[in-house]
Amino acid sequence: MSDPLEHIINRPDTWRGMNTGENVFALRTPANSDLHGVDVLPTGFNALDAQIAMAGWPLRGGVEVLSKDSGTDSMGLFLPTMAALSEQRRWQAFIAPPHAPYAPLLAARGVATEQVLMVHPKDREELLWATEQAIRSTTCSVVFSWLGASDYRYAELRKLQLAATENDTLVVLFRATQAIEQHTPFSLRLTIDRYHTVDILKQRGGRPANNIKLPDEEDIINTPQPWEIPTGKMHRTHTGQILTPVA
Amino acid sequence: MSLWLYLRFPQLPLECQPLQQDYPAVVIERQRVIAVNDEAQLTGLKPGQSTATVRALVDTSQLQLLERDASQEVLALERLECWAYSITPTLERWQNEGLQLEVGRCLKLYGGLTKLFNNIQSDLEQRGFTVRSGLAPNRSAAWLLSHWDENFLYPSDQNLRQRLDEIPLHLLRKAQAGQFLNAIKSLEKTGIQTLGEILNMPASALGRRCGQAFQKWLGDVTATSDNVTQDFHPPHRFYDCLWFGFEIRNQTELHPTMQQLLHALARFCRTTQHQPTHIEWQMLRMHGDTDLFEVRSSEAHDDPEIWFELSRLSLEQYSLGADIEGLALHVHQFQTQNAIVTDLFGESHNREPLHNLVDRLRSRLGLQAINQIALREAHLPEHSQYLSQDIAPLPPSLAGQAQRPFWLFDEPHPIRVKDDVLHWNGVLTLLLGPERLEDNWWQKPASRDYYIAQTQAGQPIWIFEDRYSKQWYVQGILP
């Protein structure tokens, strides 16, 4: 539209006609048509991609992660994914997170911190509702939802899974290890019991796999210690050495 | 050529007031009935009867006897003006009983007169108004014809005259309500029965007999064009209300009315190039009490579908009391429409706008339930980040720090120290450190040595020793 014309149209005293027969409540066209067909996203870990039948996170169908602490440890598993998804400029929803994520770390790993949207539901009903809303709306590149140790009916989870199949949002649900007893509707079920060690319990079109090691954090192990060591304290390090005070 | 559609609301005194459906109702003014509904008509009530007659005819405990409320009639007409502004910009209120709409210039837009007229009728029916209409090249004739001819034709100059000719004089007298009464009476005495006969009289004779004013009026009625240059200026606020006429038992019964009002708002917004960021719903109760609730959106827009969804979610939080009689929609402030609808992150895929999700979640979970991480200048980790409720793209200015936790605890958790060994979920092993962070020297000085330690399960965590208190704490969990 040319600028002068647009200027005139946007004046409040310009009258614009409308077709009175128009149905303003008509449903909109599906919003995900431009990315239809993109179904998989590399995890960022070759060892893990090799064991997943789709060679990455399934974008339609959901990922369930079981752990003792219901998804507090080992968030490193999803950092490469979050960094890759930052390009999409959509929300990365954190629903009922156990703590606040720390922005300086996210930034260091290439995650767009302004995309992290934290949602704090009051109870179980709100948690399920908010998770479904986030999955169904096309505004999230990823939805992390900490479902916690509560029991969920299969129908409730199935509803989330169905929503997850409808568009290209990666859905990750964190649950307690006890949920292992229950049947899951999700495409991929993982468990993380030891640091950076993933077991695939169930996957659509593939087999279970155990003991998939993710590489250790390079930041921690191979970085020299540039700092001055405090005086008057001695502590044991992982190599068994004693840090000796420097005068 | 101008073409005026006159919409007359003969039942306005009744229809502008809250009424219970399916019960007889009459409106009285100075002890005389001026309007009755269908149910009242069945019991033999008619306009013109005195209140004494009404009492004689009907058991008044079964009757809704209302005093005329002229201010309500004006308010109803003002709302109808806003509604009509979405049809045409040229319109005016006429004799406080109807609206004149110039439709000649917008017939093409609506695909012809029949289509336009059907839309108008169904709209008014939904809004609960009875309408009589007249169509003519000038306003006076349109008004006159609304009293006479219900089946209007496409008018040309010729058939306007034909139709005027047929109008009987007694109808003119009734419609004019006092004006030119003497002139009409004197014409009736001479045996004249229709308007056509008057129009055929020589002008000079007519002027002598009936006066200049009447002659001028006849000129107006027969005029072939009637152009008004001044357009209607809609108000800066939006207010519209609908009465139910039945008792509301649950929230879903409110939904159709909500949609209807939002639809009206969308039309208003579109014709005025304005968009709201928050709207106010008013539950109208008996005896004039109202309950309010507000619905907000982070971006101004006029999409009735989205406003409806947000309103529906807000309504779920709201306990509906008894005796709700009507629903009103009020918008106090508008923003001028953005030329280009921008997305929050400046990029629009073929997707829903990002703020929609925030609005939807907030409508049900509350404003505080949704936030973002925001940063500020501070050395201590717990002060360098806060949770912001202003959902907006934040400047991506942040320089990252790699040796930091993924999760930061709100409050540091104390670590138990026994025989110089740190215990937190088992024995801790130090991996890396220390890094000294100091701050807050002007209030409560803090000096901490931070280390990365490993739990017995192998999970790295972020811990520190407070150099003043010699206490150890966990502050976060590494990825």
Task: Give the DSSP per-residue string, B372-410.
Answer: EEEE-S-SSHHHHEEEESS-SPPP--PPP-SSS-SEEEE
CA quadruple A52, A56, A62, A67: dihedral, nearest 10? 60
| Three-class secondary structure of residue B449 per DSSP | strand
CB count within 10 Å of CB B159 equals 11
Phi and psi at residue B249, to the nearest 5°: -100, -35
Helix (H) or strand (E) holding B285: strand B278-285
Instruction: Indicate yes or no: CB of B408 within 8 angstroms of CB of A99.
Output: yes
Instruction: Give the CATH number of the domain where residue A192 resides.
Output: 3.40.50.300
Q: Looking at the predicted structure, is the pLDDT value of residue A222 above 80?
A: no
Distance, in Å, from the CA atom of A121 to the CA atom of A98, rounded to the nearest integer, reads 12
In B, minimum Cα distance to A113 occurs at: B373
- pLDDT exceeds 90 at position A145: yes
Three-state SS for B217?
A: helix
Bigger pLDDT: B374 vs B283: B283
pLDDT score of A189 more than 90: yes
Q: How many CB pairs under 8 A join A and B?
A: 257
Residue B161 lies in a domain: yes
What mean pLDDT, rounded, does chain A reach?
78
Q: Do A105 and B109 touch (CB under 8 A)?
A: no
Q: Scanning every residue of chain B, which has its alpha carbon at the shortest distance from the alpha carbon of A89?
A: B345
Say how far apart CA B456 and CA B464 lie, in whole Å: 18
Q: Are residues B247 and B207 in the same domain?
A: no
Q: Are A160 and A173 in contact (CB under 8 A)?
A: yes
pTM (two decimals):
0.65
Are B251 and B199 part of one and the same domain?
no
Of A4-13, A54-63, B88-97, B208-217, which gets the smallest average pLDDT?
Answer: A4-13
Q: Which of B158, B188, B222 is the last residue of a domain?
A: B222
Q: Which residues of A touch B407 (CB under 8 A)?
A: 72, 75, 97-102
Are residues B125 and B191 located together in one domain of the fold?
yes
State whether residue A180 sits within 8 Å of chain B by CB: no
CB–CB contact A230 B449 (8 Å)? yes
Give the pLDDT score at A119: 94
pLDDT at B58: 83
Whether the bond into B434 is cis, omega within 30 of 0: yes
Same domain membership, residue B140 and residue B8: yes
Tokens of B194: 């229709």
Q: Which domain holds residue A175?
A: 33-215
* pLDDT bucket at A97, cuts 50 / 70 / 90: very high
pLDDT in tens, A117-139: 999 999 999 999 999 999 988 89
| Dihedral sign from CA coordinates of B136, B139, B143, B146 | positive
Q: With bands split at pLDDT 50, 70 and 90, how would you rate the model's confidence at A229?
A: very low
Contact between A24 and B266 using a beta-carbon 8 Å cutoff: yes
- Supply the pLDDT for residue A176: 92
Q: Is residue A244 part of a domain?
A: no
Minimum Cα–Cα distance from A6: chain B residue: B339
Which residues on chain A are in Cβ contact (under 8 Å) with B372?
114, 116-118
- Cα distance from A196 to chain B (closest Cα, Å)? 8
A15 in a structural domain: no
Dihedral pair phi/psi, residue A84, rounded to 5° = -65, -40
| Structural domain count, chain B | 3
Q: Give the helix ranges, DSSP H, for B16-85.
A: 38-42, 51-57, 70-85
Same domain, B276 and B213: no
Q: How far is B220 from chain A (nearest CA, A)?
A: 28
| Residue in this structure with the two tokens 């720090």, named with its chain if needed | B401
CB atoms within 10 A of CB B137: 20
- Show Cβ contacts of residue B444 under 8 Å, excluding neighbours closer than 6 positions: none
The answer to whether A216 faces chain B, any CB pair under 8 Å, is: no
Is a pLDDT exceeding 70 seen at residue A28? no
> Do the chains contact at B357 and A129, CB–CB below 8 Å?
no
Give the ipTM. Answer: 0.77
User: Considering only residues 32 to 61 of chain A, which have any Cβ-Cβ distance to chain B shorter than 8 Å?
Assistant: 32-35
Tokens linked to B423: 């215990």
Tell whether B290 and B264 lie within a shared domain.
yes
Q: How much is the pLDDT for B396? A: 55
Q: Domain end: B336, B358, B376, which one? A: B336
Q: Choosing among B273, B420, B421, B472, which should be mutated to test the A contact, i.e. which has the most A CBs within 10 A?
A: B273
pLDDT of residue B262: 93
Q: Which residues on A lie below 8 Å from B406 (Cβ)?
A: 75-76, 79, 101-102, 105-106
Weakest-pLDDT range from B24-28, B269-273, B335-339: B335-339
| Nearest CA-CA distance, residue A53 and chain B, Å | 25
Average pLDDT over residues A8-30: 54
Nearest to A129 among B106, B364, B451 (CB): B364
Q: How confident is the model at residue B98 (pLDDT cuts 50, 70, 90)?
A: very high
List the single range of A67-76, A92-101, B220-229, B343-352 with lowest mean pLDDT: B343-352
Taking CB atoms and an 8 Å limit, are B271 and A18 in contact across chains? yes
Work out how many domains chain A is built from and give that number. 1
Q: Kindly determine whether residue B394 and residue A100, on different chains, have CB atoms separated by under 8 Å.
A: no
B108 and B261 in contact (C-beta within 8 Å)?
no
Residue B401 lies in a domain: no
- B290-327 pLDDT per residue, tens: 888 888 887 788 888 889 988 988 888 778 777 888 89
Q: What is the pLDDT of residue A20?
A: 44
Q: Which of residues 139-178 of A touch B (CB under 8 A)?
A: 139-140
Confirm whether B31 is domain-assigned. no
List B474's β-bridge partners, or say none: B413, B463
Measured between beta carbons, which residues in chain B are less than 8 angstroms from residue A33? 350
Count other Cβ atoms within 10 Å, centred on residue B326: 18
- Whether residues B296 and B413 fall in one domain: no
- In whole angstroms, what is the distance from residue B235 CA to residue A70 CA? 56
Residue where a domain terminates, one of B222, B246, B266: B222
| The Cα angle at residue B179 between residues B175 and B185, in degrees rounded to 5 | 85
Which of the listed ranges B80-89, B333-342, B392-401 does the model predict with the highest average pLDDT? Answer: B80-89
In a domain, A59, yes or no: yes
- pLDDT score of A245: 37
Name the helix (H) or strand (E) containing B258: helix B255-272
In chain A, which residues have their Cβ closer than 8 Å to the Cβ of B271?
15-16, 18
> What pLDDT score was predicted for residue A95?
95
Contact yes or no for A120/B380 (Cβ under 8 A) = no
pLDDT digits (tens, 9 = 90+) for B199-241: 888 888 888 888 888 888 888 888 888 877 678 888 888 998 8
- Would A13 be classed as within a structural domain? no
More confident residue, B56 or A243: B56
Query: CA nearest B420: which of B472, B474, B469?
Result: B472
Label residue B371 by pLDDT band (50, 70, 90): confident
Place of tokens 């790295």: B460
**Length of chain A, please?**
247
Residue B244 sits in the same domain as residue B144: no
Determine the pLDDT at residue A169: 92
Question: Residue B115 is part of which domain span?
Answer: 4-17+69-222
